[in-house]
Amino acid sequence: MRISCTQCDAQHEFPVQRLGEQIAQVRCAQCGHVFGIRRPAPVVDEPASFQLDLASTETYEAHVGQITESATGDDLDVGDLPGLDLQEGPREPVEQTPAPEPRRRSLAVPILFLLLAGTAAFVAYSAVMNPRAFTLFQPEALTGLFSSSASDKLAMDGAQKGAYLQREDGNKLFVITGWVQNNAGAPQGPVKVVGSAYQGAKKVADASAVCGVVLSEEELSALAPTEITQKLGAGAATVKPGEKIAFMIVIPDPPKGITQHSVEVAP
């Protein structure tokens, strides 16, 4: 009999005498699909007269064992049938591969490109119409932006001490001492400091000195004020990163009543 694959519609010839009463599973040699077939119902035609064909009976008896095995569901030997494999058991499910979904194009890249183009156009237009707005990009502005002043690199370490000192000649000095810390990443020096003296909120005197020069009390008492000022301003010492350096500021002939003082690193 002629059978047709339920998957690919391939046509095959299969001997009907090899089928039993139950459904048999066969595999299509073209696509590999497994499907079931059963023996077709016999067409009964009313014979005109009954005749017994002994040759047919002998053939049936010779192959009755094979037909019985087919009826019980065992595998049939179909090696001589091209294009078909007969298998036992239930039909195997055929996995269906879903069709790939159409790829959606992302809008992130075009949007980002438009934003960058718009920003560039705005900057160019603003630079032409208002050049002063872009002074930050000039070399002088960039130098000031990334450079720091001496006061940022150097700072006072702790509190400064200020006091009157009586000299041998009867005159007085106002002496300010302290330390300067190097917060920069490179050695600094020479470091100049400026000290100011106040009566209340009013500044009444000031003086300067270079860090690294400190005179003894005997020197302050014996040397002339001009010599003291010259020695304190002639320092050339440098301070390493993370270290501190001492200073001494002397105000000759200070006014009476100094109540407070301050010290700053000179730029």
Residue 50 has pLDDT above 70, yes or no: no
Residue 17 has pLDDT above 70, yes or no: yes
Confidence of residue 159 (pLDDT cuts 50, 70, 90): confident
DSSP 170-217: S-EEEEEEEEEEE-SSS-B-S-EEEEEEEETTEEEEEEEEETT----H
Mean pLDDT of all residues in 133-157? 57
CATH topology of domain 152-265: Immunoglobulin-like (2.60.40)
Mean pLDDT of all residues in 126-139? 58
Q: What is the mean pLDDT of the chain?
A: 76
Among the listed residues 173, 213, 220, the one whose alpha carbon sits nearest the alpha carbon of residue 193: 213
What pLDDT, on a 0 to 100 scale, did the predictor assign at position 138? 52
Cα separation, 38 vs 78, whole angstroms: 15
Among the listed residues 222, 224, 206, the one whose alpha carbon sits nearest the alpha carbon of residue 264: 206
Among the listed residues 95, 88, 93, the one whose alpha carbon sits nearest the alpha carbon of residue 25: 88
Confidence of residue 201 (pLDDT cuts 50, 70, 90): very high
- State which of 7-11, 173-177, 188-192 shows the largest mean pLDDT: 173-177
Sign of the four-CA dihedral 239, 242, 243, 245: positive
What pLDDT, on a 0 to 100 scale, did the predictor assign at position 225? 93
What pLDDT, on a 0 to 100 scale, did the predictor assign at position 78? 42
Mean pLDDT of all residues in 94-100? 63
What pLDDT, on a 0 to 100 scale, did the predictor assign at position 143? 45
Among the listed residues 239, 236, 234, the one whose alpha carbon sits nearest the alpha carbon of residue 150: 239
Q: How many C-beta neighbours within 10 Å does residue 247 have?
A: 27
What pLDDT, on a 0 to 100 scale, did the predictor assign at position 40? 76
Residue 264 has pLDDT above 90, yes or no: yes
Residue 60 has pLDDT above 80, yes or no: no
